[in-house]
């Protein structure tokens, strides 16, 4: 019998010691009186049973517990934890803090690394912006934590999150440094969630490293488990991770594994998986289209946009010109610029860096206010690398050469801050970035500190290394101008298309005396015409000109008459640009026209400046599939009876060609054949060409000139010489042609030689009669 009290462990240890000293192999008993509180009697068999109970409880205890964002973190979260035992119910019980009503949600488990069982639970229908406490596990083996859901979608309340990069645990030593970092994260007040920028561990399949991520032997042994269990986390895949995060973390998969987005207050976060995109063109395209869709929607709702992924395409350390980084930079940087992404949060290079980078990969000129804040620049993302949260390694700068076509300035000159400039690769400090986002600004505060893994002490206290506030222009004009996108333009040089320019309103209480417009025209486009919509804006004197890629339009009042405007409410198409392609484009190409200026100059020295932030037209292209042709021989002239020698008749079957197309091969005219078309189901033209013209050349579409018409092309009806339907008169005309050796054009020679014998004679007349009388098919149609 066991009577348990607080001295149970000591009692068992004493019992085992006496057993070993006495050499007793049979059942034994030990009576211990500790302060007269209890008597412990333990038999050997009972001791073994008790140890099994202890092991059973330990094996059933949830470990590596974490709570990840769901697809909509205001109502959905994903729990993950592990146990050793398999015959356990996967369960979470949760309630709102301060509310006794419990919610129980079941999940599923499966065996994984190190014979552990991985438990996964998705919880939805939660209330937004609400603190929850929860318990996972069953029986006496449970673990408890808490989290807070995101604000409801549409909320603009201020949020705060922590951004850490490359936790990358590899061994017991650097796990201690990470534990210190995550313990510091746990101290941040009013923290909403934690973003981890990839490389969660050093080796994705090492279960030892995952265990050290959550629990270590340093001064802050539970820093990891406390952080993961009590904060919503948002994770991206790094090159040291795998695309399941070894099932330890359950991230959404909206456009491929670990590709997802969510709203959190006034910001929209889009998490990409550049590891998957690197090796799979389809995955890259899927992510690109997903990004475009999410950012477009976010911008329309006035959200800040934060994009997260692991491998940094703009960084302050040595990975800057890795071949895969260059490839990713060439592909993704123009997309982020085009979409006007606000912040790009990266990892990988174990350095802290930031910079506003323009479309060419150079440091952008930004406006700095008197208080030190920076105005949010248009189409210039802020690229960040979040340092190193752990203690594995720190990278240095390198000398690099910029390759052809790479969007990169030399010598890291695209950056505003680079921690290698202050010796981060020597000081080897841990980094935490705190980001606070409100509707009209965001502030990042970057902190560093030093944890010594030898002494297990913090040798450099946490200090503010960098701070930046980015603000929106709150004095934007109520007058706005936008431009429509133009999709699916045929990507062929010379093709013209129109770009509408739309104003939201025109002034009602001012007389306009002049107006100025300026557009940025890329090198691959040519302006063909500018049209004013006279129902919206009309001027007797106006003109335009293009110089150095700038299209300038000027309207002036030279006759003392105001410029007419239609100032009724609603968006109005005021101007239309007609532009043409100067070069061929593929379906993956894009080009852009932007409007940089629209000013109306009114009486009393009043100028009305329009907000042109959204005045951008994205032009996308399609490659018009080329027509194909297959030619065959019908007959070769015998050199007698009308048809000249060295000539042959051919039929050419076309795909992607309508019967309204006028077709020539060199100087030879091809005639549409309704009969062959009906017979073969393919649009077929016929012609008389030189015998030297090979069928191979006639089967190459590049040798033809195709001209689109509005009506059916000139056609040949075999046997119908006078174009009034086949009858006896056509037979007589065939005989007359033979008798008189008439000079015929190619079309008539093809029409009459229905026998396909390469000569015109009475055989053709007989065949025409047979067709007229009995409907017998012409031999030429069997060719």
- What average pLDDT score do residues 222-248 get? 96
Q: Where are the beta strands (DSSP E) in 249-375?
A: 260-264, 267-271, 304-311, 343-347, 352-356, 374-375
pLDDT in tens, 555-605: 887 766 777 777 777 788 889 999 999 999 988 788 989 898 899 888 878
Alpha helices in 598-742 (DSSP H): 674-680, 695-698, 728-740
Q: Report, in this order, helix, strand and coil percent for the chain, each rounded to 5.
A: 25, 35, 40
C-alpha distance from residue 732 to each of 63, 716, 720, 738, 739 (Å): 101, 19, 11, 10, 11
Alpha helices in 187-280 (DSSP H): 207-214, 223-230, 274-279
> Rounded to an integer, what distance in angstroms lies between the CA atom of residue 122 and that of residue 435?
27
pLDDT in tens, 388-406: 999 999 999 999 999 999 9
pLDDT for res 9:
40
pLDDT for res 642:
87
| Residues of each domain in the chain carrying CATH 2.60.40.680 | 480-622
CA dihedral sign, ordered 54, 55, 59, 63 = positive
The CATH number corresponding to 54-149 among 2.60.40.3140, 3.30.70.1900, 2.60.40.420, 2.60.40.380 equals: 2.60.40.380
Hey, what's the torsion of the CAs at 178, 184, 188, 192, to 10 degrees? 10
- What the block records as the tokens of 36 is 């007269």
pLDDT for res 388:
98
pLDDT for res 46:
55
pLDDT in tens, 297-332: 999 899 999 999 999 999 999 999 999 999 999 999
Say what percent of the chain tops pLDDT 70: 92
181 DSSP assignment: H
Whole-prediction pTM: 0.64
Q: How confident is the model at residue 43 (pLDDT cuts 50, 70, 90)?
A: low
| Residues of each domain in the chain carrying CATH 2.60.40.380 | 54-149
Mention every residue, 6+ apart, whose C-beta is less than 8 A from residue 334. 359, 407
pLDDT for res 21:
37
| Residues of each domain in the chain carrying CATH 3.60.21.10 | 151-471
Q: How confident is the model at residue 635 (pLDDT cuts 50, 70, 90)?
A: very high
Q: How confident is the model at residue 360 (pLDDT cuts 50, 70, 90)?
A: very high
pLDDT for res 103:
97
Q: How confident is the model at residue 34 (pLDDT cuts 50, 70, 90)?
A: very low
pLDDT in tens, 720-778: 999 999 999 999 999 998 888 878 899 999 999 999 999 999 999 999 999 999 999 99
- What average pLDDT score do residues 153-174 get? 97
pLDDT for res 318:
97
Q: For residues 501 and 593, is the Cβ–Cβ distance under 8 A?
A: no
Write out the CATH class of domain 151-471.
alpha beta
Hey, what's the torsion of the CAs at 269, 275, 278, 282, to 10 degrees? -70
pLDDT for res 320:
98
pLDDT at 4 over 60: no
pLDDT at 73 over 90: yes
pLDDT at 367 over 70: yes
pLDDT at 482 over 50: yes
Q: How confident is the model at residue 44 (pLDDT cuts 50, 70, 90)?
A: low
pLDDT in tens, 458-478: 999 999 999 999 999 766 778
- What average pLDDT score do residues 43-64 get? 70
The CATH number corresponding to 480-622 among 1.10.10.10, 2.60.120.260, 2.60.40.680, 1.20.210.10 equals: 2.60.40.680
pLDDT at 358 over 50: yes
- What average pLDDT score do residues 338-367 get? 96
Average pLDDT, the chain: 90
- What average pLDDT score do residues 80-97 get? 94
- What average pLDDT score do residues 185-201 get? 98
Per-residue 3-state assignment (H helix, E strand, C coil) for 550-577: EEEEEEECCCCCCCEECCCCCCEEEEEE
Closest CA to 303 of 188, 159, 128: 159
Find tokens 């300035």 and name the residue.
Answer: 409
- What the block records as the tokens of 82 is 């592990």
- What average pLDDT score do residues 148-155 get? 96
């Amino acid at each position: 019998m066991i009577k348990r009290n607080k001295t149970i462990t000591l009692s068992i240890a004493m019992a085992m010691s006496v057993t070993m000293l006495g050499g007793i192999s049979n059942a034994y008993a030990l009576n211990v009186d500790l302060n007269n509180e209890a008597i412990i009697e333990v038999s050997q068999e009972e001791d073994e049973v008790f140890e099994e109970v202890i092991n059973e409880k330990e094996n059933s205890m949830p470990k590596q517990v974490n709570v990840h964002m769901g697809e909509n973190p205001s109502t959905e979260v994903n729990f993950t934890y592990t146990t050793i035992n398999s015959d356990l119910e996967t369960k979470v019980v949760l309630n709102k803090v301060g509310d006794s009503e419990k919610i129980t949600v079941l999940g599923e488990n499966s065996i994984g690394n190190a014979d552990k069982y991985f438990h996964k639970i998705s919880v939805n229908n939660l209330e937004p912006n609400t603190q929850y406490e929860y318990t996972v596990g069953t029986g006496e083996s449970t673990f408890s934590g808490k989290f807070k859901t995101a604000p409801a979608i549409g909320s603009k309340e201020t949020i705060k999150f922590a951004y850490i990069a490359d936790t990358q645990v590899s061994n017991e030593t650097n796990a201690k440094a990470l534990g210190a970092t995550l313990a510091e994260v746990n101290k941040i007040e009013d923290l909403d969630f934690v973003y981890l920028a990839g490389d969660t561990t050093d080796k994705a399949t090492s279960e030892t490293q995952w265990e050290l991520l959550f629990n270590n032997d340093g001064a802050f042994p539970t820093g990891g488990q406390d952080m993961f269990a009590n904060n919503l986390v948002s994770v991206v895949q790094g090159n040291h991770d795998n695309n399941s995060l070894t099932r330890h973390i359950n991230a959404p998969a909206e456009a491929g594994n670990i590709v997802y987005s969510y709203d959190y207050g006034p910001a929209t976060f889009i998490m990409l998986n550049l590891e998957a995109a690197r090796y799979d063109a389809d995955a890259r395209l899927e992510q690109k289209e997903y990004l475009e869709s999410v950012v477009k929607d976010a911008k329309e709702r006035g959200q800040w946009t934060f994009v997260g992924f692991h491998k940094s395409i703009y960084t302050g350390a040595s990975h800057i010109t890795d071949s895969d980084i260059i490839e990713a930079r060439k592909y993704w940087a123009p997309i982020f610029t085009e979409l006007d992404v606000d912040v790009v949060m990266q990892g990988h290079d174990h350095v802290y860096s930031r910079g506003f980078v323009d479309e060419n990969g150079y440091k952008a000129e930004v406006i700095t206010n008197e208080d030190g804040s920076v105005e949010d620049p248009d189409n210039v993302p802020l690229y960040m690398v979040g340092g190193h949260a752990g203690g594995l390694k720190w990278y240095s700068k390198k000398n690099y050469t910029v390759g052809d076509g790479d969007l990169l300035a030399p010598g890291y000159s695209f950056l505003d801050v680079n921690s290698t400039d202050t010796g981060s690769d020597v000081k080897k400090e841990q980094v935490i970035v705190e980001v606070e986002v409100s509707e009209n600004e965001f502030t990042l505060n970057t902190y560093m500190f030093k944890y010594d893994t030898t002494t297990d002490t913090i040798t450099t206290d946490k200090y503010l290394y960098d701070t930046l506030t980015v603000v929106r222009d709150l004095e934007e004009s109520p007058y706005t101008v936008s431009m429509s996108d133009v999709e699916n333009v045929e990507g062929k040089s010379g093709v013209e298309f129109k770009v509408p320019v739309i104003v939201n309103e025109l002034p009602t209480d001012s007389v306009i005396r002049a107006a100025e417009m300026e557009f940025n025209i890329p090198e691959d486009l040519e302006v063909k015409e500018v049209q004013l919509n006279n129902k919206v804006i009309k001027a007797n004197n106006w003109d335009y000109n293009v110089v150095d890629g700038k299209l300038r339009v000027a309207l002036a009042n030279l006759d003392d008459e105001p410029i007419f405007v239609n100032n009724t409410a609603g968006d109005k198409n005021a101007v239309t640009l007609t532009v043409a392609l100067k070069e061929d484009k593929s379906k993956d190409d894009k080009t852009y026209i932007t409007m940089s200026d629209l000013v109306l100059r009114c009486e009393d020295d009043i100028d009305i400046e329009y907000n042109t932030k959204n005045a951008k037209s994205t032009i996308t292209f399609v490659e018009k599939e080329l027509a194909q042709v297959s030619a065959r021989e019908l007959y070769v002239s015998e050199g007698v009876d009308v048809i000249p020698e060295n000539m042959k008749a051919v039929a050419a079957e076309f795909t992607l060609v309508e019967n309204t197309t006028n077709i020539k091969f060199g100087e030879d005219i091809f005639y549409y054949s309704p009969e062959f078309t009906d017979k073969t189901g393919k649009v077929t033209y016929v012609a008389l060409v030189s015998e030297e013209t090979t069928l191979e050349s006639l089967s190459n579409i590049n040798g033809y000139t195709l001209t689109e018409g509005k009506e059916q092309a000139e056609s040949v009806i075999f046997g119908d010489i006078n174009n009034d339907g086949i009858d006896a008169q056509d037979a007589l005309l065939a005989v007359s042609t033979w008798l008189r050796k008439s000079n015929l054009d190619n079309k008539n020679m093809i029409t009459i030689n229905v026998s396909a014998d390469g000569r015109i004679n009475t055989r053709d007349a007989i065949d025409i009669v047979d067709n007229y009388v009995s409907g017998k098919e012409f031999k030429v149609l069997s060719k």
